[in-house]
């Protein structure tokens, strides 16, 4: 994590996210770990949906984590999802200019989630960090476990 510039009074956090899906579509889970840089305190969240895709769960994890931030913040966003990172870094600007259409003039998939993520991220300075998934990165592995646990709990509850 890179420190904010001297004199910058904004809070600084790390946001680690992951999504998991069994089948695509199928039952899915998401999870995040939000760490405050100065204090080391963290908040963890996870959830699940019965009929979703992995991309939707990756987006949901970032949305849920960012939604906890109440004021402008420097956010180091760590994800193994190039879909989320590339979408936020570059694709989203073109989609918005084209009325939420892709280069092929087709509607952007998961538009409602992208719009939520755009609104949340516009309040913050986001710094993007891609992490190779399932590569022993502690927070990424933890998010993966939490997302899978949330999905599995949903499946168990549906069977009960």
- Active-site residues, by number, are 18-19, 58, 80, 134, 144
β-bridge pairing 125-130 and 74-79: parallel
| DSSP of 17-79 | EEEEESSSSEEEEEEEEEEETTT--EEEEEEEEEEE-HHHHHHHHHHHHHTT--S--EEEEEE
Cα–Cα dist 119/115, whole Å = 6
**Which strands form 125-130's sheet, in the order they lie side by side?**
42-52, 26-36, 12-21, 74-79, 125-130
Beta carbons within 10 angstroms of residue 41's beta carbon:
10
């Amino acid at each position: 994590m890179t420190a904010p510039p001297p004199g910058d009074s904004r809070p600084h956090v790390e946001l680690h996210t992951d999504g998991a899906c069994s089948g695509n579509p199928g039952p899915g889970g998401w999870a995040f770990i939000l760490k405050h840089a100065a204090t080391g305190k963290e908040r963890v969240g996870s959830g699940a949906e019965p009929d979703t895709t992995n991309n939707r769960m990756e987006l949901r994890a970032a949305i849920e984590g960012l939604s906890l931030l109440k004021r402008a913040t420097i956010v180091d966003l760590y994800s193994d999802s190039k879909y989320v990172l590339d979408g936020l870094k570059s694709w989203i600007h073109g989609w918005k200019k084209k009325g939420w259409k892709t280069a092929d003039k087709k509607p952007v998939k998961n538009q409602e989630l992208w719009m939520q993520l755009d609104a949340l991220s516009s309040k913050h300075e986001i710094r993007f960090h891609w992490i190779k998934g399932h590569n022993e990165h502690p927070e990424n592995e933890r998010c993966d476990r939490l997302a899978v646990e949330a999905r599995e709990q949903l499946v168990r509850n549906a069977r009960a």
